[in-house]
Structure 1
């Protein structure tokens, strides 16, 4: 495609340039050969259409193999040269030929299974079925599910005794340095900063001397230090010496994937790595085999479901660990087929029946959990680590040793983990957890009765309690609850309370017609709200009391039959107890506490507010929120204090204000201010010469309220750098406005443009594409600002639309008051700017320019940047010329012909 048109190659090889309308007409008439049909349709401005999508063929031929969802990405994956600029459409049939030829080489059982699935997919109307069956050249098996029953071919994991507790041997600095040298390999140039970092991090792997006083290293390591291998070195030595696992936690799944790739240096043998390193995520990230089986049994007869289920079946047989989010599952399959038959097959609602499931011994989640008990390195994320601390009993949730990478995000992760939300969606989810699917609703929901009824057989009191819980849950929102709230026609006490809450938000929030979220303070309440809250407290207590009884009955059985319970049944009992306890305390208990204070001030140390959540103007939820003003306190109490040692590290821990290097800021944001023993502070500067290799421009003559001027500035800056531009925005609306104005001129100039919140792909895929295409440009918001690791020329220019001031919502105002007013705001902005600027140089040889389009950037915030870099305040024309000169791009380069 070029801009809003397309390039088409006919069956006889003729090349045609078509505008969007002509391309749309041809597509509707034929079954074209394309890459990523939804993206093609969106860029042409037409509806989705039937096509031979090469991504579907790739997923069938090479399941669980990585491929970027672009023409060049596919070409590289199959060993062909890139398609060029403009792209050569002849590459499309060449890719198809390579994949079909590869398929024809399958033999034995693999060939039979592939043919069986292809026959099923032919019945589902798959355009590729005929050429695939021809390549396979045989009919396949006649099994009941025609190859869709992939669950029958997943191996079971063996039973093993629990491992002994780890030892307490210390890691000496010299051991960490030696391990680092071994991972880097013979002949590698030793970096002094990286060695010093590894030796300093070793302190966290010494035995602690007092309860609640772990050995902690707070380490700020500048970009390019090589901190990942720096902390993996002492962590791996400790794991080997003590027979335990070190949990390495990152902020995002994308960073987990990057860390997993780095571990290849520690474990070059894939088999050894599979044994000793495990990726752990929340269970909602893994495919549930029971969900998949039920989807096949119920959905295989539905023609539209066969193709996506068959492609998932191919993936199940090839996947490393069943990870649907950030693992080896192609994220673009969700783009092609939607979430219900792809990522929606995970257990997202806590409905697992554990050992009662016929697939329990094959379960991807259980395999990951079992493997992590014997692993040396467990790569997790902050959300999972904190969720384990909140949801599980202490002895099960605590690891001896942690490494928290991207430690500047610990406050954000703790804020999510230790908050409470009573909303329509959350309450409806609790009803579903208890009662399962209701009123003939389609779905795989398994209620509490199905999950635990067989565990309480013969216990009349427990059975009666289960019945009371199931009946009492009817007070929670049922089907179509949001329509009733908006019509002020509530059914039951929960909807009655939320209706009054919504009334208060709509009456008191600024701009009730705002297409985005609305909020207001909880006091003073509108008439009838306190009474509705008290009625709801009583109704929730009618759920909580029998749940407590159920938990007691299950715990009693676990205690009384401890010497005779099979392992699987013990696991189910423990999981049921933990799940019920979490919902009694962290959910129902928190809700009842919040409701009890409606009309008065929030409890000390908390901030409360009401909200109406909207997405693009559409109302989606109504809620009552409670957050801890300082969530690092409970983080320190539940995670850090029980641990024996931890490394907390990032390139952006300290806030370097005019007063000097502020370690107190780093300690406050990571929970260390709540610890008794002080942390060891470690600072390792970046080896990069920022003064030589970067430039910073602050543009003063682009009006912030003129979308045309902002878009023109982005366009000319991207032209001046020849692409490789990352555009950062503080608001999705402005991003979309600029994207609409940039798409055609940039693509006409041969600079592909991608955008978060516009392109129907997940952020990780967009970043992968941006990384692979040297001259493409990417627009994004804070998730891109903090999660992009793009070394080399693919990212050479960053343009920020505005100073990233924190949103002045109720939560921020409470924290601002508690943590220093303007100083707190300034600290947040400096850290965000530091993160954004830090994307420019990722390895030796990188060069880059940072442009701020907001003239209102105060000088006091410029401490976010290295002091050796001159900050030039200029007009847009001078900034464009400065970018062009820095990169040596000719003046006409980039502009359309």
Structure 2
């Protein structure tokens, strides 16, 4: 089959750019036609056009023509594993296309030029991504990909043999485990010398950064007492340069002691920034790949076996197109990270997040050394590299999960940890103000329908599906051949797991036909939730206390308790039997078999501990066998998404999650630094340092150690009173969406974009967006919004950073994960005071940590974080506006000393914003 030359096709193809209410079509020769959405829809039904970002165009127009050619998809195919913002100007930046202005017409011309350049690249001499090019183009063309015929036409060949990426990836080699690190300290002078090397001889020497580096070096002092690590609490104001400040002593200690330092962050955005900063330390990419490793949870990485099985299944054309793009990316990816790595994040919105989730290890189905791709596995490569790396860039979630899976919480709340030689002895926690929340998630126990179903599938496999999900028997079968005891225990585990929720459990609960102990229990939980709340017609999730239980719930809890105890016993015996085989058959097992046995034994133990130390103690209370534990908060919750029930369960969290964090993470290390710009809570009426530091010690776990932490606060070098203004609008009704939207509109226009709108409720964000889209489009200010645009939060922030005059609406995820220096962020508007949500969990913590003072603490830290987004460097200017006239004065200590807070009317706030930001 022959294909026409792509140049001929592109010469006949125009570009379409869709705004919130209007759009333009631009012909290849530059003729422009502006149309409303209705007219645009009629046009694209009959003709093919170049577009950028199919989900965004589709949401704005209500549809996308089947002949549409998304230039982003072409970019992902031609330049796999390369970064590109999902915008026309993102394509221009990646392809070095000159941009004349920010008009829709210019964006259309960019799409035309980008398509021509990308098609030309694949036939250029020395094209750097040739592997699998023709084979994947053929496969994707056969699946109906609109770019396929153009690429095949450019290559002028249809002769292609089979090509699968898993056959072309390098293998890792097993190495001996490294010896434990030494304990040589890092001196102040040598740390400062390393800092000077990192920032460069000609760079400005900042005293505050040098002081911070000297403090960070103390993290690496040898501890004096067992279970009492050196802990450093360092509050570092924005602009100090804390990243290089702690990288300097951390890298030095790793070199001196042949050890590894884990640097943990809360957001993937900061992980990426840290990775970029390490180019200063390791300018040679080969050395950097060896010395610095990014680590995330298994669910972030591409599973090659999942990819193979999906590629060989009878999936529809959209899925086949995605498989082709994933194979192109996987061959050239740095580490196989699909969530925040070099994978094009916007592909999830293009082809569906559910499809992407099938490609990662999200259900714990890994078969380890039994997998044909084990020696090429991205996860295993990352693990092995991190053992010998100097610096591992991790995140709080991974550190907490590792700690949680190595700790058993007994019925009396005692924390028991097991030594793990793979865990580091030195940690640096950046974004340390998030440790409390990260620990809260990691050390919680959730006995829900979805959690129960996941465990059942892990044990019994996919009972009603052709998908892999082989279950425990499929993973163990070969390893226990001839071992009657192990096989008997395995069958007992599989049999007793029938007590757990099965596929379709939620529909049976709604229909009133639950089956088995777990579903009967959840049905009673759901009954109590509806009986104790006014939630039947509500849109949002609902919750209620578990005690006193409705009639029948106590009995149902007892039945499930008995069933789970019957499941725990054979699981415990089976994992012990597998470990015993390792000992008894040491002279017969090869390395692959040993790895599989050990991994499966550990997996069984971890899941058994979730049941034994999590679910069973919870049910003991509900069944009346034990009293509630004051260290925990228990509640029932029915979770809804978009007004639809998605899960129901029984939940338990620590009142103070910093307690298990201290016991499992801090005490297992020898030195830990916890740093952030917002560790302390500054009180207006009390400037006692001990009082202000108390917050940081309680929320980071340092208060649970005998030895006091080293602590120091270093002020930002910025002149906040000169660089910023704070206004509280006191003459509008913040509950009126029309008034609220008008305030956002006029403030955004006064700032000429570069504006961030923060909201405490998604419904308010949606309402304001609907009223803002048209006016801002007319003013030429691009508007983006979390929960509306089909773009993930990290990419939205990247877009906002790049598009200087844009506006962004978001909630707390945007507030916490944003670093936008320069004029791209010059105005921050908050709809109302961000008080904590009055959940049952918050109620218990409020009681434990000081009542109203605890509410104020949380709110001040949120305000401090929001204001901190504005001023990121010496030349920045910014205005912070609170649209809540009832903002209490006691919260204003969240802002830097010396910055005047003015309570004024909306009109005056708009005028002063415009005047301040227009000053040169």
Q: TM-score if structure 1 supplies the norm length?
A: 0.97
Aligned-residue offset at 1:626: 0.5
**Contact 1:691/1:870 (<8 A) preserved:** yes
Look up the SS of the partner of 1:530 in the other structure: helix
Give deviations 1:401-420, integer Å, cap 9, x for gaps.
Answer: 00000111111011011110
Q: Could you list the runs of 5+ residues in structure 2 that have no partner in the other structure? A: 1-17, 407-417
SS in 2 for 1:298: coil
Please list the CA deviations of residues 503-554 of structure 1 after superposition, one character each: whole Å capped at 9, or x if unmatched. 1001112443220110001111100000000001111122211111111111
Report the Cα distance in structure 1 between the residues aligned to 2:546 and 2:64, rounded to whole angstroms. 44
1:572 aligns with 2:596: yes
Structure 1: distance between partners of 2:241 and 2:595:
41
Aligned length: 884
- When the two structures are superposed, what TM-score results if normalisation uses the length of structure 2? 0.94
2:242 paired with 1:215 = no
Q: Does 1:160 align with 2:175?
A: yes
Does residue 781 (structure 1) correspond to residue 811 (structure 2)? The answer is: yes
Decide whether the 8 Å contact of 2:558 with 2:623 is kept in 1.
Answer: no
* Contact 1:720-1:881 within 8 A present in 2 as well: yes
1:32 Cα deviation from its structure 2 partner: 1.4
Q: Deviations over 1:736-790 (max 9, x none)?
A: 1111111111122111011111111110000000000000011111111111000
Q: Which residue of structure 2 aligns with residue 332 of structure 1?
A: 346
Q: Work out whether residues 54 and 96 of structure 1, in 8 Å CA contact, stay in contact via their aligned partners in 2.
A: yes
What SS does structure 1 have at the residue aligned with 2:420?
helix
Shift of 1:856: 1.2
Structure 2 counterpart of 1:100, from 80, 102, 119: 119
Partner of 1:104, secondary structure, is coil
2:250 to 208, 228, 235: 235
**Alignment correspondent of 1:406:** 431
Contact in 1 for aligned 2:57/2:64 (Cα 8 Å): no
Cα distance, 1:376 vs structure 2: 0.2
Gaps of 5+ in 1: 891-897
Q: Are the aligned partners of 2:82 and 2:342 in contact in 1 as well (CA < 8 Å)?
A: yes
| 2:876 aligned residue | 846
Kindly report which structure 2 residues correspond to 1:466-505, keeping only aligned pairs within 5 A, or say none.
Answer: 466-505=490-529
Q: What is the match of residue 188 of structure 1?
A: 203
CA 1:279–1:663: 2 relative to 1, 3 Å: same
CA distance in 2, matches of 1:406, 1:340: 30
Match of 1:73 in 2: 90
SS of 1:498's equivalent in the other structure is helix
Of 544, 548, 557, 2:581 maps to: 557
- DSSP-derived class of the 1:90 partner: helix
| Cα distance in 1 between the residues matched to 2:546 and 2:388 | 48
Matched, 1:752 2:782: yes
Alignment match of 1:389 (pick from 380, 403, 409): 403
User: Partner of 1:135 in structure 2?
Assistant: 154
For residues 579 and 4 of structure 1, the distance between their equivalents in structure 2, rounded to whole angstroms, comes to 53
Q: Is the 8 A contact 1:2 1:748 kept in 2?
A: no
Indicate whether 1:123 and 2:142 are aligned.
yes
By how many angstroms is 1:141 displaced? 2.5
Structural mapping, 1:264-279, within 5 Å:
264-279=279-294
Query: Judging changes above 3 Å, is the alpha-carbon distance between structure 1 residues 223 and 110 closer, same or farther for their aligned structure 2 residues?
Result: closer
Which of 340, 361, 372 pairs up with 1:347?
A: 361
CA contact 1:41–1:49 (8 Å) conserved in 2? no
- Residue 808 (structure 1) shift: 0.6
Distance in structure 1 (CA, Å) of the matches to 2:286 and 2:802: 28
Deviations 1:139-166 (A, max 9, x none): 35322xxx3x100001001221111111
- Matches of 1:506 and 1:112 in 2, distance apart? 57
Note if contact 2:132-2:328 (Cα within 8 Å) is conserved in structure 1: no
Post-superposition offset of 1:666: 0.4
Partner Cα distance (1:797, 1:140) in 2: 57
Give how far 1:50 is off: 4.1
Residue of structure 1 in register with 2:185 after alignment: 170
User: 1:11 offset after TM fit, Å?
Assistant: 5.1
| Deviation of 1:563 (Å) | 5.1
- 1:826 corresponds to which of 829, 843, 856: 856
Q: CA RMSD in A?
A: 1.6
Question: In 2, are the aligned partners of 1:655 and 1:864 still within 8 Å (CA)?
Answer: yes
* Residues 4-34 of structure 1: per-residue CA shift (max 9 Å, x gap): 1110023554311010000011111122110
Could you tell me how far apart the structure 2 residues matched to 1:839 and 1:162 are? 43
- Measured after TM superposition, the shift of residue 617 of structure 1 is 0.8
Q: Distance in 2 between matches of 1:53 and 1:108?
A: 22
Matching of residues 195-344 of structure 1 within 5 Å: 195-299=210-314, 302-344=316-358
Task: Pick the aligned partner of 1:22 from 39, 62, 67.
Answer: 39
Task: Tell me by how many angstroms 1:465 deviates.
Answer: 1.1
CA deviations on 1:74-117 (whole Å, 9 max, x unpaired) are 11110102362322222211111111111111569954731121
Equivalent-residue separation in structure 2 for 1:668 and 1:108 (angstroms): 56
* 1:638 and 2:664 aligned: yes
The structure-2 alpha-carbon separation of the partners of 1:803 and 1:704, relative to structure 1 and needing over 3 Å to count, comes to same
Match of 1:62 in 2: 79
Q: Distance in 2 between matches of 1:512 and 1:525?
A: 19
2:101 paired residue number: 84
1:593 maps to 617
Matched, 1:518 2:542: yes
How far, CA to CA, are the matches of 1:448 and 1:783 in structure 2? 37
1:527 aligned residue: 551
Instruction: Name the structure 2 match of 1:772.
Output: 802
Q: What whole-Å deviation, never above 9, does each CA across 1:266-316 have from its counterpart, x for those lacking one?
A: 1111111100000000000000011111111114x7433221111101001
User: What is the deviation of 1:604?
Assistant: 2.4
For residues 628-707 of structure 1, the aligned pairs below 5 Å read: 628-657=654-683, 658-660=685-687, 661=689, 662-707=692-737
557 and 706 in structure 1: CA distance in 2 versus 1, 3 angstrom threshold: same
Aligned to 2:11: none
CA distance in 2, matches of 1:834, 1:809: 23
What whole-Å deviation, never above 9, does each CA across 1:103-137 have from its counterpart, x for those lacking one? 11156995473112111111111111122122223
